[in-house]
Structure 1
Amino acid sequence: MSTPATVPAASPAAGMPAIADQNGSLLRGNQEVLTFTIGEQNYGLDLLSVREIRAWTEVTPLPNTPPFVRGVINLRGAVVPIFDLRVRLGGGITNPTSANVVIVVEIGSESCGLLVDTVSDILALDASALQPVPATAADEEHGFLSALATHEDRMVALIDVNRLFSKGVPALPAAA
């Protein structure tokens, strides 16, 4: 089950301010996010989009795919594509080890795996912790961040999985 990328904010009577992201969509507060790292950066995903967390296993590569498509795995009879989130976020290719993990998420009605360095924790964020993503030159190509959250001494970039691969994802071959 997936949640909408944006949910209307609660009414002012509920005491929750409405915060708009860079696309003008309202961000919701009081959400739980799974946080993870890629290099030294902290990121988060809406916990409702996460199906499971798995240890890294070798994938079956697919020909003629973008660099962020690592390949596919068989997940209980379903073919699931695995995406290297470091590449998708503009970093280099991950050289996975047994320390890396795959976060299996729902994007629309499809499942995919996101290769990350480590999973950190689950944060409960309220609207006061959310800030809109500043406008940058890369917004059109990389507009998949929904907000920035501050928690204790760290900043977490929240990723909207519904926008993460909305452009440029190849159609994967049908399972034989």
Structure 2
Amino acid sequence: MVPAPREVLLFTLEGQRYGLPMEDVRELIRAVRLTPLPRAPDVVEGLLNLHGQLLPVLDLRRRFRHPARPLSALDHLIIAQAGPRQVALRVDRAEGLRVLAPGEWDETPRELPGVGYVAGAAKLEDGLVLVHDLRGFLSEAEALELDTALATSTERP
């Protein structure tokens, strides 16, 4: 039985390419001003109001140990599903969808220590791209801290 091809959204951050499984991606939009979220974990850059829904924007630069930089109008926001939670990810640029042939997919990286949110790697002709699994992106403590911050932000005095 031949495995079905995988679809991956490729994006860049600080000149490095990454990927997300397409089944986790909901929408792609241009960056807009974010609202600060007091008491949120450090990995949360702020809040985005998308069609009346408040979404936490995860700071990939912090998580991937890239230097911080201000939001740019050229940045993209990837709206994605991170387990039970919908989130936005600020990236430099979304490159587009790539359909991976079975020989272009390798699950080995997810078995290595310290890569808890890596689903696998796309072996492309111009290099290796780590494909991230957002279900484990937030630690349990970060998820709880985010839930508390979100609940506090929506309370009315």
- TM-score, scaled relative to structure 1: 0.76
Q: Per-residue CA shift, 1:153-172, capped at 9, x if unaligned?
A: 12211000111114423223
Amino acid at match of 2:134: V
8 Å CA contact 1:145, 1:157 repeated in 2 = yes
Q: Which SS does the other structure have where 2:23 is aligned?
A: helix
Whether 2:113 is the aligned partner of 1:149: answer no
- Aligned twin of 1:159: 132
| Aligned equivalent of 2:71 | 96
Please say if 1:115 is aligned against 2:90: yes
Count of aligned residue pairs for this structure pair: 147
Partner of 2:35: 60
What's the CA shift for 1:119? 0.4
Q: Which structure 2 segments of 5+ residues have no match?
A: none
Sequence identity (%): 28
- For residues 8-30 of structure 1, the C-alpha deviation after alignment (integer angstroms, 9 at most, x for no partner) is xxxxxx144xxxxxxxxxxxx51
Q: How does 1:2-151 map to 2 (within 5 A)?
A: 14-16=1-3, 30-131=5-106, 132-133=108-109, 135-136=112-113, 139=114, 142-151=115-124
- Contact 1:87–1:94 (8 Å) recurs in 2: no
Q: Which deviations, in whole Å up to 9, do the C-alpha atoms of 1:46-66 show, x marking residues without a partner?
A: 111111111111111011223
Query: Normalised by the size of structure 2, how large is the TM-score?
Result: 0.84
The residue identity in structure 1 corresponding to 2:67 is: G
2:11–2:95: 8 Å Cα contact kept in structure 1? Answer: yes
User: Counterpart of 1:35 in 2: which secondary structure?
Assistant: strand
Q: What do residues 74-95 of structure 1 show as CA deviations (whole Å, max 9, x unaligned)?
A: 1111111111111112222232
* Structure 1 unaligned residues grouped into runs of 5+: 1-13, 17-28
